[in-house]
Amino acid sequence: MSSYDAIAELYDPWSRSVTEDVDFYVAEARKARGPVVELGVGTGRIAVPVAAAGVPVIGVDSSERMLEVCRHRAEAAGVARLLDLRLGDLRDPPVGERVRLVTSPFRALLHLETDAERRAALAAAFRLLVPGGRFVFDVFAPSAGGEDSIWLARRPEE
């Protein structure tokens, strides 16, 4: 059981105003020509619009309840056939397919507790990619002075 199971029904109302990244991820998915693996798919805030654009999504999340909400959201949008939702860990996602694009939107990697766990998730994402594929994600790291700065990994295998 995931701690996110308890908030699955509250997540969409809480994140309703977070839309600035949706078009970006949809455009990236279209360029990749699918399927796309989304790590930390949650309730489908990004996956459902990507599927609505005609791109298949393999969505992985550790919360069964978040996946249920995502499934209902996809059904309501008429795109459930384009979503393959899987219960699993970002550090070892249950995905055998290799894809051109793996995403992890809305700081999902920061839900992991340690740098070692985040490195394991980065390595797992790298293993899902075909040669030349891309991992697109967003995170931040608070700076020592309190300002937020961007942390990007150019080589997840390291």
Asked whether residue 99 is assigned to any structural domain, the reply reads yes
Residue 39 confidence (pLDDT)? 94
Residue 83 lies in a domain: yes
pLDDT-based confidence at 3, cuts 50/70/90?
Answer: low
Mean pLDDT, range 59-74, rounded to an integer = 93
For residue 92, give its domain range: 3-149
Q: What is the pLDDT of residue 1?
A: 67
With respect to residue 138, please indicate whether it lies within any of the assigned structural domains: yes
The sign one gets for the Cα dihedral 107, 113, 115, 116 is negative
**CA dist., res. 115 & res. 152, Å (int):** 13
In single-letter form, the type of residue at position 54 comes to G
Q: What is the pTM of this model?
A: 0.81
Look at residue 74 and tell me if it is in a domain: yes
C-alpha R_g of the chain = 15
pLDDT at residue 17, rounded to an integer? 58
Domain count, the chain: 1
Two tokens, residue 5: 């199971």
What is the CATH number for 20? 3.40.50.150
Which residue(s) pair with 134 in the sheet?
A: 101
- Residue 156 maps to a domain: no
